[in-house]
Amino acid sequence: MNIDGGKVALVFGGSRGIGAAIVERLAREGYAVAFTYISSEAAAHEIEEKVIDRGGRAKAIKADSGDAEDIRVAVSTAVDSFGKLDAVVVNAGIFRMATIEAVSEADLDEMLRINVRGVYLSIQAAAGEMSAGGRIVTIGSNVAIRTGFPGASVYQMTKAAVAAMVKGVALDLAPRGITVNNVQPGPTDTAINAGGIETLSTMSPLKRVAQPEEIAGLVAYVVNEEAGYMTGASLTIDGGFTL
């Protein structure tokens, strides 16, 4: 807990889309929020300034979520800025689409490096700086359950790995009262889905995609004290895509 008595959150991958919505929502919930970015510097500082202008506290930190040293520095910078961590959200990830015949070793390695190894290292680094009773949330994907289209096998594998990962990590951190849960969004109105919103909407039972703020709302609940008895769970929020 920081020196002002408020809570502290660190969001890995918080400059755009779902991550940015999570940063803004947690700031509104009273958290001092540090968050990482890698390429979207202007967007990151815009989010930082928006939170500060609203009377909150935020700090943008440039860090590669596939690099162990960058991850450790991001954690230490967040703690030095605001204090011990109460909530950690691991949102950073990449999506590259190709059928198995066309997947390059470079793309395979990169998705594994960021979407699996990076998630594990982020949790590992942050857990050592977390308060007892803290909250860790990973942002997975409903494709861990079902894709329904070709070309996503590597991405599906990485997100299924995250869903499995949180179960073991939840057991490791349970003695400290730290919960570890996984939020699995379906198609969401973000840059990654630009150009495909109409098609994705027709595929949905609700005939629309999610807004980033809806995903952020579920994350806000999971880090809340009321969710303290839930750990190792994967919560799917996808408008019925996987029904």
d(CA 215, CA 238): 9
Please report how many Cα atoms fall inside a 13 Å half-sphere around the Cα of residue 143, on the Cβ side: 21
For residue 57, give Cα distances in angstroms to 28, 33, 65.
10, 6, 22
Reduce the DSSP state of residue 210 to 3 states and report it: strand
Q: Catalytic one among 31, 37, 120, 155?
A: 155
Question: Which residues on adjacent β-strands are paired with residue 34?
Answer: 10, 59
CA distance 19 to 25: 10
Please say if 155 is a catalytic residue: yes
Burial 60-84, CB ≥16 within 10 A → b, else e: bbbbbbbbeebbbbbbebbbebbbe
Q: Which residues participate in catalysis according to the annotation?
A: 155
